[in-house]
Each structure stands twice: as C-alpha cells, then as structure tokens.
C-alpha cells in the first residue's frame, strides 16, 4: 500500500491535461440573439423550480460575450486544457438535416476555439451536452425517436467540417445515462418527462429511459464512424463521456456483492459496455428484460470499439446493499434499480465521507481510485477524467470572503488528484483531470499542484 507521503511525491506526465469543464447551456447565455434557436434547456429553465438557484439559461455566466475574459483568466491559472460544449441550436437553429446553418454561431465557436489555442489551452469539445434543439423535441420527441440519429450525424458532420482544424479531442455525448434518467425517468432535467404526474403531464419512466439511451448510443456510434471514415486526416480522437459513480458492497455477503456488480452494470456499464463490446451488459439485460431494446447485428458491429478512450465524469461513491424497506412509488431511483438501496454509511453506520453542498455527493477518494481501476480492468482503453468536483457545504449562504477561502473544495480536489497520480504510477493510462466547473473551481487548480508535473 502506498503511503500518503509517497502519493504526494508522485509526478504527473508532462503531457497530462489539467483544466476545467463547462456546458454551453450553463455558461453562454444570449439564447435568443445572433441567430440561435431555442434548446430544451432554454424552455425548461424558464420555470425557476427547474434549476438549483432559480436561474435560467438566458444570461447564465455570459460566456457568449465574455469568453475572452474567461480564457485570459484560465491562462493566468496555468491550465492547458478546457472542455466546452457546442450548442446544437446555435449552429443549426431548427436542428435538422437540411435546415439552415447559422453562420454567426459557427463564427462564434471558431473565435472561442482560436482564442483557447492562442492562450496555449487545448480544447476538448462536446457535441451534445443535453441542450437539444427545441424544434426536434417538438417535431418527434427528440431522442425518443430514431429520426434523431440522422439529424445528429448531420450536426456532427457540420461540426467536424467547421472546427476539425482546431479540435483534436471530440466528445460525442455527455452522460447519456444521466440524460436518459433525469430527463425521461425522474423528470428533473429537460425535457422533464416522467411517469410521476406531479412532475410531468406525459412520459413513461419504465420504458422511455431505455429507448432514449438506445438512440443516444446509435447516434454516438454513427458519428464516430463518420469521423473515422471521412475526417481521419484531421488527426483527432473521439469518444463518449459517461457518468460513473462507484458502487461498493456494504459487506462481503454474496447478495450485496452481486448487487454492487448490478449497480455498476446498470449505471456505468449501460453505456460503456456497448461502445466497447457491442452490446448491453448481461446483468442489465437480465434485470430489464423486454424494456431494454435489442441491437441488430449491424448495430452491434457499429457500436463495438466506437471510442478511442473512456471519458469519465465522477463525483461520489455509494455503499450498496439490498433494499429492505418498501420504496415510495414516487421514488424513480427505486423503479430503475428496485433491489438496491444505495447510501453513504458503511456497515457500522459510519459516514464514508463528509457532507457536501449537494445531498447526493460525498467526498470518497478511495472510491474514485477503485472506479478508475475497475474502468481500466473492464475496458482496457485510455481514460480521461472529463468532470470531477464538489459543492462546498452551505457555500451560497457564506459571506464572500469566507466562501473564497475554499479549503473544502481544495482538499477534495487534492485528494482526488492524488488518486489519479497513484493509478498512473500503477500503469493505468489516465490522460486528463478536467474539473467541474470553471465557474466554481477557478482558483483551486493552483493548489492541485502544477509543481508535480514531470519536466
């Protein structure tokens, strides 16, 4: 076992990517000017109950107008990478194949990408970070329809043609598991569909997430094939971003060990397995039965190996045990994994990590280390940590001077960076640490320790 002192002495490779991550809907603003069409988040966030602070996408952090200030600040912190997403409806306002391209939107992103490169910052670009054009949601319910695959391929083609000379790291889709569940099961994210009629007037939480996930996978694989077939000369890499939290069995009983495997199969494996092996995990097939669509043999071939790396968004660890109490009918998590009761206490009732500013996050660095080991052992591809971060307890209520003395977040990021360094030393090819999000982690990267980069 490597000691804490030994971990602190480990170095990161000189070509390791450090930086921040953002999403277009959360930072850009300017949603109804310069030719942009509305996205589902532009319409969904009008209701103040749909966001953490009651805000909407209308202004956000005004990146559209202040991107150069942000990039200058990033440069001053010494980062060498920035993950951003493109707004589909800023580039194709109506979203579809044959619909007009918004030249102002294309020009905006070229300016941003050039500004990043001029600052010595490598762009990592996500094609779809949940802000589907509202026009496609209205037309055929978005990713509930296979029609989306051709429209996504067309959108990807325009992006590769327009920005491929500036972008060498492409992420097709951000967290398809979260988009499927929170948008089409829990109803907490756009487009807000759920079986719970207190939340949504329409939706089927038991079937829709799996239909949406299926079409997201096929859209991803189709765009990867397009990139490899027609844009390989651009010299880039392309892959999928998956939210992966670690599930640790609460004890060594066969039942809870099995449920932890089921948890990983139905959350991380739901999307990681098809893009590497061509099909869903068997444990997920066994659990979901006919609700999980089947791939044709042609689709399996399209999916298998449709990623150059595994991009991981990670935030927390859960202790996994068998559910022992009846679930609330409105508990959509229970409808997704009916036998599992995830929690933050170990078998002795002790918390596995301190309270953070979000109820579903506990800092558990050892769980992050286990996750990276599991991901590499399972899929044997390079790993990019494309999101990781934490919200500090009660930070919205703290005086500004106290809030910016951000020891809680600094400690979280240091401990998680230590785990990356350890896994690199053990031979796992981890290529980046991109922190979520630029708007909240701006100062902390100075403490997540550029001195440990190899010369």
Confidence (pLDDT) at 50: 85
Is the separation of the CB atoms in 95 and 152 below 8 Å? no
The answer to whether residue 322 scores a pLDDT higher than 90 is yes
Instruction: Say how far apart CA 370 and CA 316 lie, in whole Å.
Output: 11
Give the pLDDT mean for 26-36: 96
Confidence (pLDDT) at 3: 67
Q: How confident is the model at residue 229 (pLDDT cuts 50, 70, 90)?
A: very high
Least confident of 82-91, 132-141, 234-243, 327-336: 327-336
175 tagged catalytic: yes
Confidence (pLDDT) at 440: 58
Catalytic member of 175, 208, 248, 273? 175
Q: What is the CA radius of gyration of the chain?
A: 21
Confidence (pLDDT) at 396: 82
Confidence (pLDDT) at 335: 81
Give the pLDDT mean for 137-147: 98
Confidence (pLDDT) at 455: 31
Share the mean pLDDT of the chain: 93
Least confident of 26-35, 219-228, 290-299, 332-341: 332-341
Catalytic member of 208, 248, 387, 444? 387
The answer to whether residue 104 scores a pLDDT higher than 60 is yes
Give the pLDDT mean for 359-371: 97
Instruction: Say how far apart CA 355 and CA 219 lie, in whole Å.
Output: 38
Confidence (pLDDT) at 5: 61
3-state helix, strand, coil in the chain (%, to 5): 45, 15, 40
Give the pLDDT mean for 395-414: 87
pLDDT tens-digit map of 328-356: 766 767 889 999 999 999 999 999 999 99
List residues bridging with 84 in a β-sheet: 125
Residue 231 structure tokens: 């844009």
Confidence (pLDDT) at 390: 94
The answer to whether residue 357 scores a pLDDT higher than 50 is yes
The answer to whether residue 129 scores a pLDDT higher than 70 is yes
Confidence (pLDDT) at 51: 82
- Listing DSSP states for 403-428 in one string gives HTS-HHHHHHHHHHHHHHHHHHHTT-
Confidence (pLDDT) at 445: 47
Confidence (pLDDT) at 330: 67
Instruction: Say how far apart CA 241 and CA 263 lie, in whole Å.
Output: 18
Between 70 and 443, the higher pLDDT residue: 70
pLDDT above 70 covers a percentage of the chain that reads 95
Instruction: Give the pTM.
Output: 0.95
The answer to whether residue 250 scores a pLDDT higher than 80 is yes
Instruction: Say how far apart CA 272 and CA 267 lie, in whole Å.
Output: 9
The answer to whether residue 147 scores a pLDDT higher than 60 is yes
161 tagged catalytic: no
Map tokens 């039942």 to a residue.
Answer: 255
Give the pLDDT mean for 386-414: 89
The answer to whether residue 1 scores a pLDDT higher than 80 is no
Give the pLDDT mean for 347-368: 96
Is the separation of the CB atoms in 130 and 183 below 8 Å? yes
The answer to whether residue 4 scores a pLDDT higher than 70 is no
Confidence (pLDDT) at 108: 98
List of domains in the chain = 4-452 (3.20.20.80)
Within the chain, how many helices (H) and strands (E) appear?
19, 10
Give the pLDDT mean for 197-226: 97
Give the pLDDT mean for 187-210: 95
Residue 76 structure tokens: 């001053």
pLDDT tens-digit map of 52-88: 778 899 999 999 999 999 999 999 999 999 999 999 9
């Amino acid at each position: 076992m490597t000691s804490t002192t030994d971990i602190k002495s480990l170095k990161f490779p000189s070509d390791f990517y450090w930086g921040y991550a953002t999403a277009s809907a959360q930072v850009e603003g300017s949603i109804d000017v310069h030719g942009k069409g509305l996205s589902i988040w532009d319409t969904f966030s009008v209701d103040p109950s749909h966001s953490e602070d009651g805000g909407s996408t209308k202004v956000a952090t005004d990146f559209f107008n202040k991107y150069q200030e942000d990039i200058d600040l990033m440069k001053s912190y010494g980062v060498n990478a920035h993950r951003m997403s493109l707004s589909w409806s800023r580039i194709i306002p109506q979203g579809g194949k044959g619909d007009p391209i918004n030249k102002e939107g294309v020009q905006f992103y070229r300016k941003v990408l050039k500004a990043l490169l001029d600052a010595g910052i490598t762009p990592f670009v996500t094609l779809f970070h949940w802000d589907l054009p509202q026009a496609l949601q209205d037309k055929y319910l978005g990713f509930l329809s296979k029609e989306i695959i051709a429209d996504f391929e067309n959108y990807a083609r325009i992006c590769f043609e327009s920005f491929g000379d500036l972008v060498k790291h492409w992420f097709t889709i951000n967290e398809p598991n979260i988009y499927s569940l929170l948008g089409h099961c829990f109803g907490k994210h756009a487009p807000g569909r759920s079986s719970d009629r207190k939340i949504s007037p329409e939706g089927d939480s038991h079937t829709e997430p799996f239909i949406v996930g299926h079409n997201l996978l096929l859209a991803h694989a189709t765009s990867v094939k397009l990139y490899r077939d027609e844009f390989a000369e651009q010299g880039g890499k392309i892959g999928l971003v998956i939210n992966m939290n670690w599930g640790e069995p609460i004890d060594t009983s066969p039942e809870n060990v099995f449920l932890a495997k089921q948890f990983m199969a139905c959350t991380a494996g739901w999307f990681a397995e098809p893009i590497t092996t061509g099909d869903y995990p068997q444990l997920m097939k066994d659990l979901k039965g006919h609700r999980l669509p089947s791939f044709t043999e042609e689709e399996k071939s399209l999916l298998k190996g449709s990623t150059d790396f595994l991009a991981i968004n990670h935030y927390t660890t859960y202790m996994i045990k068998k559910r022992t109490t009846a679930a609330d009918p409105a508990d959509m998590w229970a409808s997704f994994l009916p036998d599992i009761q995830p929690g933050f206490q170990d078998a002795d009732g002790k918390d596995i990590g301190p309270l953070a500013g979000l109820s579903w996050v506990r800092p558990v660095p050892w769980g992050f280390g286990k996750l990276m080991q599991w991901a590499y052992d399972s899929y044997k591809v390079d790993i990019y940590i494309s999101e990781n971060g934490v919200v500090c307890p009660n930070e919205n209520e703290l005086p500004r001077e106290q809030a910016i003395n951000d020891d809680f977040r600094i400690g979280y990021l240091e401990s998680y960076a230590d785990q990356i360094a350890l896994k690199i030393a053990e031979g796992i090819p981890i290529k980046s640490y991109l922190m979520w999000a630029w708007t909240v982690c701006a100062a902390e990267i100075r403490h997540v320790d550029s001195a440990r980069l190899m010369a």
